[in-house]
Structure 1
Amino acid sequence: MTKLTVVCWNFERNGKGDPAVRRAADEILRRLEPDIVLRQEMLGADAKGGTVFNEQCQALGMRGVLGPGACTAIFYNPDEFDLVRDWSTDRTPGFVLPPTVITVHFKEAGPDSVPVNLASYHHAYGSAQQRQLEAEWLTTWADKGWTAPDGSQIVLPLAAGGDNNSCPEPGAPGDLPLPTLSDIKDRPHRLHRSRRGPDGVRVPDTEPDHTIREAGLEDIARYWAEKGNPSALARTVNGTATHGPDTRIDRIYVTTSLLPAVIGVEVHEVPLGVSDHHVVVWRVNRSALADLLTNFAIFART
């Protein structure tokens, strides 16, 4: 069985302007042999006509699309995927840090197969209300129509990954517990990661996760853990004395039609000197994905 690899990584401030740190990050990604990279914090990648971004594409041997404001990006393997559409020129309301969204064809499935929308996003750092708004707008990318070759109207599947700056809703066996807010010693950060509950008491913010899953997408780590693989729920950010315990704020969501192609989810830890976030890795059964994308009935608009 051959596979594709999709990774999601918030590489801290794109290396903070240090080429040596960027090279270390490139090497981490190369070892994972990704076919799709959903990146956040692309700070400075657009400088000097995109010189840094182009260097990063070349280092990975991939093509890429840099989103508005160099906030996010998507890299893809041109041997596996053809770019169909770049949505970055479309208005993306509601985001502090605009997402990168593209539509691609998986070559193995053939040119007449269902394309896939890919999104890399970074939810707002300092406002639970803003994150809620952004999560709602993110779900609109799971509602994009497409006319299949047979004339039927379908809804494109979506794979979206990013830094949610909030916790997943409880319920997955083995998931990290929600932080006790009193353990977050930095008071502004405590505020940023929480919201007022119905009784007026502040609680950890889990609403973005609830919203995205309510729209028919699933957290692939949660899905894979429920299949008996709890290691998929590993931390993606280390705990600190000021900012509280380990958290799983980096997640990949897919429309449920794509779940049969999931064959693995893992978290690849990286040294703190490289980034403050770890890498979420999704392994995809390529033949299963190809079969899914040629079955128009799965994606028919109802």
Structure 2
Amino acid sequence: MDQPTMPPAPHLPARAPRYLTPTELHVATQLVAGASNEEGGIALKITPRAFSGHLGRIGAKFGAYSRPERAHALLSTGQVPPPPAPSPAPQFDATELRLIRALAKHSDPVRIASAVGIAKSEVRTLTKSVVTKAKAKNTTHLIGLCHTWKLLDEADAHADGSRSSDTIRAHQMGPVLPPKPPSDRIRVGFLNLKNDGGPEPAPGVLPTLWHDTYDLLVALHFDWLGLGELTHSQTRPNATDQEKKAAEFRWQEAQKKTEMRGFRAAMGQGRNPTGLLVRPSTFTIGPRPQQHLTKVFRTPPTVVELGLREVPKARILTASLHASYCNPFVREAEVYELTALVDKVKTHLPAEGTKAVACWLLGDFNELPVPSPGDVPDIDWNAPELTDMVHRLHRAREQPDGTWCSRTDVDKILLHSGMHDPARYAARRLGKPAALATATAGRADSAVGQGGPCRIDRAAVDGWSIQAVTDVQVIPMGGRSDHDLLIVDFSRRKLIEGLRRKFQPLAPWALMR
């Protein structure tokens, strides 16, 4: 059967930087014209899922995760031409112009409202009014039309239309994201997406932030992904039927979108449960698929037993966790409970039956790591800029002289039990210092007064698995969440060798010396 042919690539000015593939350029052209996944897929003769995947990769390249932001990034850098305008530019007033510029740069309604100088409750109504006034299909099309009308020209654009640089600045592109892993790589990660992307704007309609975030996750091709704050994807037993239906719908959509199998932990005292997604084509699952740990934990971890087909007797105990944020004594008890998983990791591969020989813990530890050279600087809990004293009580301890220092008990317990931080390994053994020096939280507006950037979202893996790490990256979520996305890549070949015990484990604390 003949494959459908793509239409000719859009004509671009010679100065346009070529960071997109030809297919991505076609998708980008549809995007700035306001096409939905279905409309874009029909136009390009691809599936809506494929169209969405390309959108995710485009967003990843620019560090822009909402459709209007992607359109603005594409058009600001000359990647694609702006869409044709049905009419001359309307006479927008000052408030409307501020709204248009805010929509091009933010997806959070709070940030948009702040930039415009209006109440959050007014954002949706005013946006709808401006979209109608512009005769646009939607907000993304509005941004495209405003570029056509020269209402969103960048400050460094010259009169002849050229720019001071034909390269995309780092702050515009965001970090260089890892490409799709080769067949000999296994990619795992953890994301604490604030409040699961938010509630449904209408029954059966998932929020734009949720879709944009999962587009990014799809583009990064995870084999295992831990998730925190599944606020709207899990419910308590006493939830209403409507709440249960909405949560089940969202969780099923997450599995469909990523083409991964999902597991959720039960709700604990907190309202933000954990979960994880597994790619069945990468891992075998079971024979005891999920272990439910409910005692001690404020937020129960999601614990799933996995394996690789090449080593059927060896099992990998994996966990997505969210440690107690408000009680350091509970947090310490939680990590001691997790060492029960570590304790199951035996030195030798069993002659018969199956046995755990590896352990991976990823999550929000809600506590800083033991300070080490090259790490994110420790928080100065005594600085006058630190005003959230309750937060300090959660994360630090008072010294005899009245000063405060970070609590690092969680990291110490894991180090003593022979677990290792992949970021430290990447920095110390792979020559990738950025892995250790990049914060994973503490940059959001909500963290003002709490001490600044920190590295509380981390991973801990056993002494064999750590030697299979090939890369660690932190992907900024651009204010869409108060946590960033952690990525750890493993060599499949080296993991298999470790499961077969072909080499000695890395000694406890070896990366701290």
Q: Say whether the fold is shared (TM-score over 0.5).
A: yes
1:18-167 pair list within 5 angstroms: 18=200, 19=206, 20-46=208-234, 47-48=244-245, 50-69=248-267, 71-84=273-286, 85-89=288-292, 91-107=293-309, 109-112=310-313, 114-144=314-344, 150-151=351-352, 155-167=356-368
CA positional deviation for 1:151: 3.9
Report the Cα distance in structure 2 between the residues aligned to 1:155 and 1:80, rounded to whole angstroms: 18
Task: State whether residues 185 and 490 of structure 2, in contact with CA within 8 Å, keep that contact through their aligned partners in structure 1.
Answer: yes
2:463 is equivalent to residue 275 of structure 1: no
CA positional deviation for 1:296: 8.1
Residue deviations 1:44-91 (CA, integer Å, cap 9, x gap): 2123262211110111110111111161111011111121023344x4
2:461 is equivalent to residue 254 of structure 1: yes
Q: Aligned partner of 2:496: which letter? A: A
Q: Which residue of 1 aligns with 2:58?
A: none
TM-score in terms of structure 1 length:
0.90
Report the Cα distance in structure 1 between the residues aligned to 2:307 and 2:277, rounded to whole angstroms: 14
Task: State whether residues 154 and 296 of structure 1, in contact with CA within 8 Å, keep that contact through their aligned partners in structure 2.
Answer: no
Aligned-residue RMSD, C-alpha: 2.3
**Counterpart pick for 1:237 among 436, 441, 465:** 441
SS in 2 for 1:159: strand
- Gap change, CA 1:152 and 1:76, over 3 Å in 2: closer
SS in 2 for 1:87: strand
**Counterpart pick for 1:9 among 191, 214, 232:** 191
Task: State whether residues 357 and 499 of structure 2, in contact with CA within 8 Å, keep that contact through their aligned partners in structure 1.
Answer: no
2:495 is equivalent to residue 289 of structure 1: yes
Task: State whether residues 93 and 137 of structure 1, in contact with CA within 8 Å, keep that contact through their aligned partners in structure 2.
Answer: no
- Gap change, CA 1:216 and 1:197, over 3 Å in 2: farther
- Gap change, CA 1:24 and 1:96, over 3 Å in 2: same
CA positional deviation for 1:136: 1.1
Q: Aligned partner of 1:281: which letter? A: I
Query: Which stretch of the first structure deviates more once superposed, 217-226 or 66-75?
Result: 66-75
SS in 1 for 2:420: strand
Q: Which has the higher contact order (CA 8 A, sep 6+)?
A: 1
Report the Cα distance in structure 2 between the residues aligned to 1:176 and 1:83, rounded to whole angstroms: 36
CA positional deviation for 1:145: 6.2
CA positional deviation for 1:276: 1.0
- Gap change, CA 1:149 and 1:88, over 3 Å in 2: closer
Q: Which runs of 5+ in 2 are unaligned?
A: 1-181, 201-205, 235-243, 506-513
Q: Which structure would you say has the larger Rg? A: 2
TM-score in terms of structure 2 length:
0.54
Q: Percent of pairs identical after alignment? A: 28
